[in-house]
Amino acid sequence: MQNSLRKISSIPFGIDVLKSFFPDHQHITDKARLLVSKGQIIRLKKGLYILSEDESGKSYNRFLVANHLYGPSYVSMQTALRYFGLIPEQVYAVQSITTKAARQFDTPIGQFYFTHCSAEWLSVGVRMQSDEGLSYLIATPEKALFDLVQFTSGISMRYQCEVAEWLENDLRFDMEAISSLNLDLLKQLVPLSHKHTTLETIIRFIAHEQSL
């Protein structure tokens, strides 16, 4: 492989980018297959690749991969909650929210799940996060929590004691972090949700805890 290809680093790239590095190669898809067979690049899906860690010299950023794999989308739910240190369990598949149809991708670097949402829901509570010079879209802690409620069947709460039970026992949520949650952001999401009662109950619980 030409050393110049390492300029791509650990950013996913399409077949057109590969063509720019091998402009004299008439059958670029054949070249891509050859590089995949040698373990130099990894095929994420049709037309999308990433350099192997040996070639790039860097670890994969699976959140960045998720953004490129299927978008518009942002990383959320347990994946984001774990990233922010709000739940203790390791999350192995990357969970994302997208305005496109729900999809699942099984790739050589892991599983990626995408849940459908409305454009209005997508527009609130998403931020750009940067790690080691790479930027990707991820839910805020508040949005990740409400995404989990919004898109998980069977979660329905009318009483604050149910919220406490769910957070402490089911999620094992870091209860000390409740004081830092943005109530205004949570309130913006309620009108966009089909679970008004549950989200409002969670907001009341958080507001009560923050007032103590």
160-172 pLDDT, tens digit per residue, is 999 999 999 999 9
End residue of a domain, out of 37, 56, 75: 56
C-beta of residue 119 within 8 angstroms of C-beta of residue 99: yes
Asked if 14 and 81 sit in the same domain, the reply is no
Asked if 141 and 189 sit in the same domain, the reply is yes
Write out residues in the chain with pLDDT < 50, as ranges: 1-2
Domain of residue 34: give its range: 3-56
Closest to 156 measured CA to CA, from 206, 198, 203, 202? 198
Asked if 145 and 73 sit in the same domain, the reply is yes
Asked if 51 and 121 sit in the same domain, the reply is no
Asked if 70 and 154 sit in the same domain, the reply is yes
Residue 192: predicted pLDDT: 96
Residue 3: predicted pLDDT: 57
Residue 1: predicted pLDDT: 45
Asked if 8 and 86 sit in the same domain, the reply is no
Name the domain count of the chain: 2
Asked if 35 and 95 sit in the same domain, the reply is no
Could you give the CA distance from residue 135 to residue 33 in angstroms, rounded to a whole number?
Answer: 28
Q: What's the pTM value of the predicted model, to 2 decimals?
A: 0.93
Asked if 28 and 85 sit in the same domain, the reply is no
Asked if 148 and 201 sit in the same domain, the reply is yes
